[in-house]
């Protein structure tokens, strides 16, 4: 939830500003209340919860997910990328002055 933009609040701060937090949740901003993960509470609107459940229940390919997000590939000349380093075989090198094994 934090990765999708949820706001975090301490329990006391959430209690003091509950009306404002509730209004933001109704407008689509999820909120996390509490500090410890085990006891944390998520405040989210019902419409946002329905959207999350529908998104999870839907099976889609990677391409369909890109289309749903509005991804458009770059048009124009393709960029050719070569290998970063030449692929040389690994060779054990002998150092000058090293004792023989």
From first to last of the 101 residues of the chain, give the pLDDT tens digit.
444 557 777 777 777 788 888 888 888 888 888 888 888 888 888 888 898 898 888 888 899 889 988 998 878 887 777 777 767 777 777 877 656 55
Q: How far is CA 98 from CA 90, 92, 93, in A?
A: 20, 13, 11
- Domain membership flag for residue 96: no
Residue 13 sits in which domain range?
A: 2-68
**Taking the model in full, what pTM does it have?**
0.45
Residue 64 lies in a domain: yes
Q: Are 40 and 33 in contact (CB under 8 A)?
A: yes
Find the CATH number of the domain harbouring 36: 3.40.1620.10
Q: In the beta sheet, which residues pair with residue 41?
A: 33
Q: Is residue 19 part of a domain?
A: yes
pLDDT at 100: 55
CA 94 to chain centre: 48
- The answer to whether position 18 is within a domain reads yes
Q: What is the pLDDT of residue 84?
A: 73
Block residue for tokens 């839907």: 58
Strand 7-9 to strand 41-43: parallel, antiparallel, or no bridges (unpaired)? Answer: unpaired
- The domain total for the chain is 1
Q: Is beta strand 31-33 parallel, antiparallel or unpaired with respect to 41-43?
A: antiparallel
Q: Is residue 98 part of a domain?
A: no
Residue 77 lies in a domain: no
| Residue with the two structure tokens 């770059």 | 74
Decide if 17 is inside a domain: yes
């Amino acid at each position: 939830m934090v990765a999708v933009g949820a706001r975090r609040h301490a329990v006391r701060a959430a209690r003091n500003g509950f009306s404002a937090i509730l209004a933001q949740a109704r407008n689509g901003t999820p909120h996390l209340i509490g500090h410890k993960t085990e006891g944390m509470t998520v405040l989210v609107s019902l419409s946002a919860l329905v959207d999350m459940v529908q998104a999870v229940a839907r099976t889609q390919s990677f391409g369909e997910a890109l289309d749903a997000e509005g991804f458009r590939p770059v048009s124009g000349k393709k960029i050719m990328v070569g290998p970063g380093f030449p692929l040389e075989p690994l060779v054990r090198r002998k150092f000058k002055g090293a004792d023989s094994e």
